[in-house]
Amino acid sequence: MDGNLRNFLYQLLFSLPATLLAISVHESAHALVSYLCGDTQVKADGRISLNPFHHLDLVGTLCLIFFHFGWAKPVVVNTSGYKHKRLDFLLVALAGPVSNFLLAALSAFFECLVYYRMTPGIPKAILFQLLMCLTVIDIGLGVFNLIPIPPLDGSNALLCLLPRSAAGKISRYRRYSPLLLVILLIVLSYAGGDFLAAANAFLYNRLIGLFSGLFSTGALPAAV
């Protein structure tokens, strides 16, 4: 088997399940917080679920697998039941990225635990690689979605924080969000990808450094 094909299949083997879990947690968090704020529609739509097939966006999933940043199918919320609309919508917007950062921290902890405490062998290598992918992809999903460009979560959070007049003016341009997303991907591919990768690597290294100190003074292998 060709070496490039072998590397591709090896990457896919670990990236795919990690991506599906990261997406499911992200979108379920949006839906769950919206439900807790008074939105019953998200439950009826089946979005409070860890079933990845309820949340997948094909292009966003492929971007997550291969570039470690991407998105899922947005949760459509009904704000009519919210008691504090701006605050509740802000919490819903931030729930996805926050859930990914929490999952990244949890997977980084177990990544360190496996590396320092598990007996060497194939099971350890497989579990370590899977946890590394989960940590990296969750960080990437969380960071990417905080970018304040529609339809990403950062834009929804920003609208809640801005004065109503400014938020209303910006909302007029949300119909151009697919075009804005394409432009963002092009910019990241040709100009901003290194910055985003550096941000992801910074957070990954901080998490690993934090939890490595609990088990050893040694260093884990760098993420790829």
Higher pLDDT, 106 or 61: 106
Residues 208 and 109 sit within 8 Å (Cβ to Cβ)? no
Q: What does the alpha-carbon distance between residue 163 and residue 108 come to, in Å, rounded to a whole number?
A: 38
Average pLDDT over all residues of the chain: 85
- The confidence score (pLDDT) of residue 38 equals 95
Distance CA 107, CA 172 (A): 39
pLDDT over 80 at 174, yes or no:
no
Closest to 107 measured CA to CA, from 132, 124, 129 = 132
DSSP secondary structure string, the chain?
--HHHHHHHHHHHHHHHHHHHHHHHHHHHHHHHHHHTT--HHHHTT-SS--GGGT--HHHHHHHHHHS----PPPP--GGG-SSHHHHHHHHHHHHHHHHHHHHHHHHHHHHHHHHHSPSSHHHHHHHHHHHHHHHHHHHHHHHHTSSSTTSHHHHHHHHHS-HHHHHHHHGGGGGHHHHHHHHHHHIIIIIHHHHHHHHHHHHHHHHHHHHHHH-SS-PPPP-
What was the pLDDT predicted at 103? 97
Helix/strand/coil (H/E/C) assignment for every residue in 153-178: HHHHHHHHHCCHHHHHHHHHHHHHHH
pLDDT of 1: 56
Is residue 199 pLDDT above 80, yes or no? yes
Whether 192 has a pLDDT exceeding 60, the answer reads no
Q: pTM of the entire structure?
A: 0.85
What are the residue boundaries of the structural domains of the chain, listed by start? 3-215
pLDDT in tens, 25-69: 999 999 999 999 999 999 999 999 999 888 888 877 777 777 766
d(CA 145, CA 57): 14
Name which of 60, 51, 205 is nearest 139 in CA terms: 205
